[in-house]
Amino acid sequence: MLDFKHVKGEHPRLRERGIYILPNLFTTGALFAGFYAIVQAMNGDYELSAIAIFVAMVLDGLDGRVARLTRTQSAFGAEYDSLSDMVSFGIAPALILYVYALKGLGKMGWIAAFVYCAGAALRLARFNTQLEVADKRFFQGLPSPSAAALVTGFVWVMQEYGIAGPEVAWPAFAMTLFAGLTMVSNIRYYSGKEINLRRTVPFFVILLVVLFFVLVSTSPPEVLFGMFACYALSGYVYSAWVRWRKRRGGLSREK
């Protein structure tokens, strides 16, 4: 006779080996978006490639929050998320920039693309090894999704204005190196992890969210690229401000 009690609740090993579907669906969606971006770049449709990276970024931001809200975090999900991030925010942006603008630079072009790709891999590896000791308020180095949004947002803006890749090869080269090297820097960026979606917020916060969507809808390429360019520079501004305060404090003590 089949023991229904045993089937329903007495399989701890089977439960431990199970995979949570909901958060990993978002991760799979992000992985698909990254792969789709590569395919479209190979087909010469750079606008769709850039949009796909932004879609991957949204899905990547949701999978972790969904896992925490539903208490479905797992070691498998963390590893799967890192592999998905490497494709969507490491390999895909590097290939998009190379095919769009860097190919004509020869060796310099593919070296810049590789520096970005390697920077993303090192950034993700460092992030995974410092989860327990890192300050949750800040990221160390530019996060790989933000770096991907910066470089592909640049491509999206150029496409919006009908500018061909070879015309902006050197600006693309500089931006690719900047993003790749900033990812592995020690510059700190605000993480936003202190934001709790389950808490009540003032009315003006909802108003700001609405205004944000209205602003993005008016001109997505320029607004999104501008936002992530400001975020990429914010780490340098914050570091300069911290150093200035320390130097000022040291001078005050000397007096």
pLDDT tens profile 208-254: 888 888 888 888 999 999 999 999 999 999 999 988 888 877 655 65
**Least confident stretch, 167-176, 199-208, 242-251:** 199-208
Please state the separation of Cα 134 from the chain's center in Å.
18
Mean residue pLDDT of the chain comes to 85
Number of H helices, E strands in the chain: 11, 2
Query: Residue ranges per domain, the chain?
Result: 19-254
- List pLDDT tens digits, range 62-84: 887 787 777 777 888 888 999 99
Q: What is the pTM of this model?
A: 0.84
Task: Evaluate if residue 46 carries a pLDDT over 60.
Answer: yes
CATH topology of domain 19-254: Four Helix Bundle (Hemerythrin (Met), subunit A) (1.20.120)
| The predicted structure's pLDDT at residue 114 | 97
